[in-house]
A = this chain, B = another copy of it.
Amino acid sequence: MGVNDTVLKPLDHLIATLSAEMAAVDALIRDRMASQHAARIPEVTAHLVGAGGKRLRPLLTLAAAKMLGYQGNAHVLLATAVEFIHTATLLHDDVVDESRQRRGRPTANLLWDNKSSVLVGDYLFGRSFQLMVETGSIRVLDILANAAAVISEGEVLQLTAAQDLRTDESVYLQIVRGKTAALFSAATEAGAVVAGAPDDQVTALRDYGDALGIAFQIADDLLDYGGATETIGKNVGDDFRERKLTLPVIKAVARASDEERAFWQRTIEKGDQRDSDLEQALRIMAAHGALESARKDALAWAARARAALAPLPASGIRDMLGDLADYVVARVA
């Protein structure tokens, strides 16, 4: 694919601009996912790493460092560490959600077993911290150790809150900040830190990653009620069938009549679902403008992400990151 501003999507534009660095990340991923003793580790990892993800998170780290003039190699170490943390959380998520499909392919827990997914995920966590140690930066380790704790805290919160109708928008935001935005913001913040950026620029990139991650996750949750299976790599209504309270449902619950409330209690809290329930859920959400309201929230977070970039020096990559914020919500705009 050629570099052509008029046809490239923002993400592809960023990939093309950072192609040399991304090639170095790819090589490092393949090198470090190896195991001297346990052949299953690279097998499981390669299944997921080779599954055609866009490597959005390592791109964010590379973009942050490069736009701030960084010349060394630590951003490649860091971007690989970020991708390993992401891969580890995917492996563990698929065990937790008992998923059978990711990115249109069978999950590792289905192809191998839950044991392999748990332990290979742990291995990748260990490997990611080894890579961070190689950067020699305690501050980078601090950022990513915090992110690792916040990610799993968000996932545990989701576990207990996702089927509880009392879960409101503020709890949803905590969950999303944990399970998605924490790694986005750590990726951009750590990229700025290795580049030796001043504090206001580090903060700007952290805020950008935070808002981008929230916009991304709200869009993802919206798509679950309206995207095509080939676009989203899962089936419409998966969250509903898995009884996972996401923003559109939370908004509909907040505005529910007594009868609607009984519907949500039966389908989400009790998990007693019938064939026509997904259609009924969509009708109720539409009646309250819940999908439209969630869509506006996603766009507002994308706008916040773009605005967060203002303190940063003007550059091609800064513009691409701004466009990327619009792009992650374009699927639902």
Which positions 296-318 of chain A face chain B at CB distance < 8 Å? none
Kindly state the separation between the CA atoms of A141 and B139 in the bound complex, as whole angstroms: 12
Kindly state the separation between the CA atoms of A37 and B157 in the bound complex, as whole angstroms: 7
Closest Cβ neighbor of A174 among chain B residues: B37
Between A114, A138, A154, the greatest number of chain B beta carbons within 10 A of the residue's beta carbon is seen for A138
By a CB distance below 8 angstroms, the chain B residues around A95 are: 95, 114-115, 118
By a CB distance below 8 angstroms, the chain B residues around A29 are: none
B127 touches A149 (CB 8 A): yes
B96 touches A153 (CB 8 A): no
By a CB distance below 8 angstroms, the chain B residues around A144 are: 129
B123 touches A153 (CB 8 A): yes
* Identical copies in the complex: 2
B119 touches A148 (CB 8 A): no
A247 interfacial contact with B, CB 8 Å = no
Mask, A82-126, CB within 8 Å of B = 1, is 000000010010011000000000000000001110111011011
Kindly state the separation between the CA atoms of A239 and B260 in the bound complex, as whole angstroms: 52
Which residues in A have some Cβ–Cβ distance to B below 8 Å? 35-41, 89, 92, 95-96, 114-116, 118-120, 122-123, 125-127, 129-130, 132-133, 136, 138, 141-142, 144-157, 159-160, 174, 178
Q: A92-B119, A130-B146 are in contact. List 8 more A-B contacts (CB 8 A).
A: A36-B153, A37-B154, A38-B160, A40-B156, A116-B159, A125-B148, A127-B149, A132-B141
